Amino acid sequence: MVKLVKWEPFRELDEIKSGFDRLLDRFRTEFYGEKLWTPAVDITDTGDSLVIKAEVPGFDKKNINISLTGDTITISGKTQEEKEEKKAHYIYKERVSGSFSRSFTLPVPVDRNKVKATCKDGILEIVLPKAEEAKAKEIKIDVE
């Protein structure tokens, strides 16, 4: 008896991407001696603001930098590796230290004087209120 299986091309693409990501990670580790890491980021438009949420687990907020230049926002940070115990022999180690930098082009002008950032439970949240000229305004158009 033959079992029919629905072909899901996007699942296969995800598997290819995951394999490629693992290959790149091994390449970086082998040739650079460290893993390169960047935080996962979500950017949403609430209508009045743009909200950026970035996962920065283990980062102290004083080691996170946010800069806004023109229409580009850059988030960067640095973390130090914990002091290794001399008697400890690692079997497997994924936690790394180092720095990251992510830059994004903002799609609308923002009110630079009202930008706020908070960091709680490993989530950095940046609220960028839109400038008045960027907020959607409804215009009534009469049909003749």
| Separation between Cα atoms, residue 129 and residue 124, nearest integer Å | 16
3-class DSSP state of 117: strand
72 by Cβ neighbours in 10 Å (0-12 / 13-18 / 19+) ranks as exposed
The answer to whether residue 107 sits within a structural domain is yes
Cβ neighbors of 125 (< 8 A, separation 6 or more) are 51, 52, 53, 117, 118, 119
Domain match, 98 and 46 both: yes
The pLDDT score that the predictor gives to residue 98 is 74
Q: Among residues of the chain, what percentage have pLDDT more than 70? A: 81
Domain match, 72 and 14 both: no
Tens digit of each residue's pLDDT (9 = 90 or more) over 44-90: 999 999 999 999 988 889 999 999 999 999 999 988 766 656 667 77
Tens digit of each residue's pLDDT (9 = 90 or more) over 3-20: 777 777 777 888 888 888
The answer to whether residue 25 sits within a structural domain is yes
Domain match, 67 and 123 both: yes
| Separation between Cα atoms, residue 100 and residue 103, nearest integer Å | 10
Task: Please give the model's pTM, rounded to 2 decimal places.
Answer: 0.66
The pLDDT score that the predictor gives to residue 45 is 94
Weakest-pLDDT range from 34-38, 78-82, 99-103, 121-125: 34-38
Q: Which long-range contacts (CB under 8 A, 24 or more apart) does 88-97 make?
A: 94/35, 95/58, 96/34, 96/35, 96/37
Whether the per-residue pLDDT at 118 is higher than 90: the answer is yes
What is the domain extent for residue 47? 38-83+93-134
Domain match, 115 and 49 both: yes
**What is the phi/psi pair of residue 84, to 5°?**
-75, 140
Which domain CATH number covers 105?
2.60.40.790
Radius of gyration of the chain measured on its C-alpha atoms: 22
Contact status, residue 78 vs residue 98, Cβ threshold 8 Å? yes
